[in-house]
Chain A
Amino acid sequence: MSREGVFLLVMSALPFLGALIPGLMIRAGRTACATFAAVPTALALTMLLILAPSVMQGEVIRVELDWLPQLGLSVSFFLDGLGLLFAGMILGVGLLVTLYARFYLSSDDPMGQFYTYLLLFQGAMLGIVLSDNILLLLIFWELTSLSSFLLIGYWKHLPEGRQGARMALAVTGGGGLAMIGGMLILGNIAGSYNLTDILSQGDAIRASEWYLPALILILLGAFTKSAQFPFHFWLPHAMAAPTPVSAYLHSATMVKAGVFLLARMWPVLAGTDAWFYIVATTGLVTMVLGALIALFKNDLKALLAYSTVSHLGLLTMLLGFGTKFAAIVAVFHIINHLTFKAALFMTAGIVDHAVHSRDIKRLGGLRHLMPITFVIGTVAALSMAGIPLFNGFLSKEMMLDEAARTGWAGSAWVVPALATLGALLSVAYSFRFIMHVFFGPVRDDYPAEPHDPPFGLWAAPALLVVGVVVIGLVPALIVGPLVAVAGGAVIGGGELPYYSLKIWHGVTPALFMSAAAILGGLALLWRHASLDRAWSLAPRPEAKVIFDRLIAAAVSLARRITDGAHDGAMSRYLAIFVVATVALGAVAWTGGGTPPPTRGLQPVPLVVAIGWALLLLGAVSVVVTHRSRFLALVLISIIGLMISAGFVYLSAPDLALTQISVETVTIMLLLLALHFLPKTTPIESSWFRRIRDGVIAAAAGGGVGALAYVFMLRDVDTISGYHLANSYVGGGGTNVVNVILVDFRGYDTYGEIIVLAIAGLVIFAAIEALLRGPAAARIRNTNYAQDRSRDRHPLMMVVATRVMMPIAIMVGVYIFLRGHNQPGGGFVAGLVVSIALLMQYMASGFAWAQARQRVEYHTMIGWGVLIAGLTGAAAWLAGRPFLTSAFGYVHLPPIEEFELATAMAFDLGVFLAVLGAVMLMLYSLSRIARYAGESTNLEPMDFDPTERKTDPKEGV
């Protein structure tokens, strides 16, 4: 990886890393927080400036790291001219906004949060403009939607802020979804998700039959993001955000993301009729409409928002023209719009800050009261109007020049006329901004005393305004090279068309159009009062109302569907689930052919037939008698027993051992639980319902049974041969099942013991919560004593379990030790030992046994998982992958040769985890009993004959 590549990678990661800083620094004070929030941005900007010279010479810097190569997703960034321009805007304005926000936000606002969101957003934007992989670009695209949601809704106490944020997320997020589809189609046509590859295949993509769907979907993403008609309505509502957010998102970055995408995809998608008519027309309509609405907005930020919509339309239109010249003008105008619009937003924020109102009707006459703000605002607004000597004039002149040469559907005057109209309206609202805010008589009813802000607040817009003037005066010198290299990147290399960045182009049609626009705009402003009255009377659709209605309709539809399918009846969900599964299975069954059977049926000996009959009888009896719950519980154990026997017969001794011990533990658990549950199930379902459920059950059972039958009669290739061949050679054990568990698929087993451990802990925690909640009173107030046996801890059982305990443990150890070579192992041993322990609990009561228990079950679980994990990790020390096992043979004279394998240590972990989890589950349940006021016995048995004899008082 080259040095430049590393720089690029670090640069794109910096904002995300930096997003952690404000949260830490906010305790050090607001200034420190802002300062440190600026550090990552400043660092990234420095890196960009270091990289800039080589990019300006036409070099493209790349870096690539694999992420998910199977999906074609890689972390690859590239920096070309267009990326440089946008990255510079994002970081540069980001820095200014950081400064501005420090002085703008009040002391009540959580500043740390603000900077964190801002840096997240900045990182996401930077990712969009630098991504060289369209999947990565999509991720960043969605990230901008999410982080802008947080920023727009930053003032959580304002309902407009929350609604605006939601609207922005719905619109831009929805567009983003469409774009995902478009990008995937595009990647599919090009055969690569690499942007550089896609950009080189413009002709193939334009010729593809999938071009139009891809185009429309991608445009939906771009248009929603860049607030193009008819998706323009979210932008003004997003103005409820704090002004620094508006200045950043809605002038320089987020809304430009759509324009960026159009520019980025220009070499691939532009140049067709579809592109021209969709993009240029949308842009033209948006430009005129936005400007028209802006003229009648009284809120300063709303005026600027619609003006932004209008200028975004202008940019879209330019890119839509599809000519190289227009694309370069667009790049130039992006720079100009950034400078004056960010300055204007900041000016609006300053006015709001000083006067406590952004309503134009309550302002006016501020030029003497706020002279600095007046100068900044006026210069920026003049540039927006397109007045000569300011940079807005230059790009607008070039735009008109291009528009004058563009025909639309055979008509030569539509585009020039509408473009002039847009420019005219733009002049009108720009001058309105100046005249109605700063000029006019000084009023005596300002909500607050107007004053110029501190330096910190006007420094950022002042800097931008200097840019406005300097670019306006000597454009070629200041931004000429940047426009050339960025424009070159947009048009995809090749010769740059002829253009010149200068003020005087001679007497051209554009000059007349410009003059008409300025004069017409001033005339409009002159008659503004009467036009305003007409405007407010004219009926027009309110986008927010329509949007809200759409959302409400979608919500109510979703609610109807959800309520219909999800009415709180779990039996209904399960029925739907089973029926759907059976239906899908049936479809699959009929869809494909079944190869003929390759195996014959095996004979059924009499003893198997008896076992089978018992199993079926057990299953049917459970269903029939399920209302008397104890009986059903007894019957279900028959099934488990028969299955264990079946495993023995069908060559699965390990399964038989496991099944029978799990069976024991399960029945104990259910018995314990049933103590606190109703003992019978009432009849609640109607006959119809029972028949319906029976039909569903029969269909499901029949389907699964048929599947199993068909499957069993056919051979398939499996990977089991590998396991059989390598079990002893590679794993050192002859019990292949155990070797699979602890070695081949040790990672699965590791996961499984963790699941079991979590289940144990969940049960412990649930009981803990239960005993603290309202259930506690119910347990205390219920009398469970009536069910209690008079001989709870019988002598015979106590003595027998004591005698059996060492034997049972010995069996457990034996099963554990031989597990690697013979049926057995950690799972079974853990279950056997827990049964041995549970017998003590049953015989003498939980309290008695618990008092004699030395190791906490939690600790046991912890050790189990830890030992298994450490055994796996030990393989790293030998330079092997996780859980690689090693084994060797040791010769000890009395015991002969035996094997030592790391798998044994892993199995020990399994053993401990299983033992701990099972015991913890049952122990937790028993806690309810003790809480219920069950007497705890101090003696191991109810009646101890040995003690009785020696008691003198009894006098036998």
Chain B
Amino acid sequence: MEIVVASSVAVLTAGGVYLILRLRTFPVILGLALLSYAVNIFLFASGRLATGLPPVLSRYGDATYTDPLPQALVLTAIVISFGMTAVLVIVALGAFLESGTDRIDIAPREDDAEPRESHR
């Protein structure tokens, strides 16, 4: 099970990093989404893995539970990463609508003279 989780984190991180190194805004947003998944799982996994032990207290005496704290942290992290993605999307959208290109890099000076390419 641990291998499953660790390899998922690894693949999601690698995919996320590869995508944030692309040159257009949309892949970068996708990459950040993948990285968010990876980070959330990583944080969650820091509570160690357990099956069938949800941290909801049982009425019947002493039971064991999984670690609730990483879950609480990850819960808010999921919601916050949504907020972050939303802000980024708007920034990307604004940049595209204002400048006509969705490149993330500031174009080198010699490129300024070239006509802007059309995407549609």
Contact = CB atoms under 8 A, between A and B. Distances in A.
Interface of A: 567-572, 574-575, 578, 599, 601-604, 608-609, 612, 615-616, 619-620, 622-623, 626, 629, 632-633, 636, 639-640, 643, 646-647, 649-655, 658-659, 662, 665-666, 669-670, 673-674, 676-682, 684-685, 693-694, 696-698, 700-702, 704-709, 711-713, 715, 718-720, 723-724, 727-728, 734-737, 740-741, 745, 748-749, 752, 755-756, 759-760, 762-763, 766-767, 769-770, 773-775, 778-779, 782, 821-823, 827, 831, 914, 917-918, 921, 924-925, 928
A514 B90 CA distance: 78
Contacts of A604: 1, 3-4
Interface string B47-60: 11111111111000
Contacts of A718: 47, 67, 69
Contacts of A601: 1-3
A574 B21 contact: yes
A701 B13 contact: yes
B86 A759 contact: yes
21 contacts: A599-B48, A601-B3, A616-B11, A622-B15, A646-B5, A651-B51, A651-B53, A651-B66, A655-B71, A662-B82, A670-B89, A681-B26, A697-B15, A701-B10, A702-B10, A705-B9, A712-B5, A712-B49, A727-B57, A756-B79, A770-B93
A650 B105 contact: no
Given A650-B51, A651-B54, A723 B68 contact: yes
Contacts of B57: 724, 727-728, 734-736
Given A626-B30, A681-B27, A712 B83 contact: no
A433 B56 CA distance: 88
B118 to A, nearest CB: 9
Given A652-B54, A676-B93, A571 B22 contact: yes
Nearest to B93: A673
Q: Is the interface of A mostly helix, strand, loop or mixed?
A: helix
Nearest to A917: B83
Given A567-B106, A715-B48, A773-B98, 17 more contacts: A570-B105, A643-B37, A646-B8, A647-B44, A650-B50, A651-B52, A666-B82, A677-B25, A697-B18, A698-B14, A705-B7, A705-B10, A734-B57, A763-B86, A770-B94, A914-B79, A918-B82
Given A676-B97, A760-B83, A775-B97, A711 B45 contact: yes
B120 A678 contact: yes
Contacts of A749: 76
Interface string B15-33: 1111111111111011001
A511 B25 CA distance: 83
A762 B87 contact: yes
A770 B97 CA distance: 8
B78 A655 contact: yes
A670 B82 CA distance: 11
Contact of A673 (B2, B47, B67, B89): B89
A707 B75 CA distance: 22
A267 B6 CA distance: 62
**Among the interface residues B20, B22, B47, B92, which one has the most CB atoms of the partner chain A within 10 A?**
B22
**Among the interface residues A601, A615, A623, A669, which one has the most CB atoms of the partner chain B within 10 A?**
A623
Contacts of A639: 12, 34, 37
Contacts of B87: 759, 762-763
B17 A653 contact: no
A723 B67 CA distance: 9
**Among the interface residues A570, A770, A821, which one has the most CB atoms of the partner chain B within 10 A?**
A570
B90 to A, nearest CB: 5
Nearest to A649: B51
A626 B11 contact: no
Interface size grouping (class) on chain B: 35 or more
A414 B31 CA distance: 73
A756 B76 CA distance: 10
Contacts of A918: 82
B69 A719 contact: yes
A827 B79 contact: yes
A23 B49 CA distance: 62
A474 B11 CA distance: 88
B113 interface: no
Leading 5 A-B pairs by shortest Cβ distance: A705-B10, A701-B14, A568-B106, A678-B119, A775-B97
A925 B87 CA distance: 11
Contacts of B82: 662, 665-666, 918
Contacts of B67: 718, 720
B80 A755 contact: yes
Contacts of A640: 37
A918 B24 CA distance: 26
Contact of A697 (B21, B47, B97): B21
**Among the interface residues B17, B75, B82, B97, which one has the most CB atoms of the partner chain A within 10 A?**
B75
A680 B24 CA distance: 10
A602 B51 contact: yes
B76 A706 contact: no
A800 B106 CA distance: 47
A660 to B, nearest CB: 10
B83 A701 contact: no
A677 B119 CA distance: 9
Contacts of B81: 662
B104 A570 contact: yes
A708 B83 contact: no
A706 to B, nearest CB: 7
B68 A674 contact: no
A709 B48 CA distance: 10
Nearest to A710: B6
B7 A616 contact: yes
Contact of A736 (B68, B94, B117): B68
A228 to B, nearest CB: 46
Given A571-B105, A705-B10, A752 B76 contact: yes
B13 A700 contact: yes
A705 B2 contact: no
Nearest to B106: A568
A709 B98 contact: no
A658 B12 contact: no
A591 B25 CA distance: 38
Contacts of A707: 42
Contacts of B120: 678, 782
A678 B21 CA distance: 18
Contact of A658 (B18, B49, B75, B107): B75
A745 B68 CA distance: 12
B27 to A, nearest CB: 5
A704 B84 CA distance: 22
Nearest to A568: B106
B37 A737 contact: no
Nearest to B41: A643
A823 B44 CA distance: 16
A749 B16 CA distance: 27
B114 to A, nearest CB: 14
Contacts of A704: 9-10, 13, 38, 42
Nearest to A759: B83
A149 B47 CA distance: 53
Given A669-B85, A773-B98, A752 B79 contact: yes
Contacts of B12: 619, 639, 701
**Among the interface residues A709, A773, A774, which one has the most CB atoms of the partner chain B within 10 A?**
A709
Contact of A770 (B18, B98, B105): B98
Given A571-B22, A827-B76, A708 B17 contact: no
Nearest to B91: A766
Given A676-B97, A685-B22, A712-B45, A670 B79 contact: no
A778 B55 contact: no
A278 to B, nearest CB: 50
A737 B3 contact: no
A767 B90 CA distance: 8
A604 B4 CA distance: 8
A574 to B, nearest CB: 5
B15 A623 contact: yes
Given A620-B15, A658-B78, A713-B2, A677 B92 contact: yes
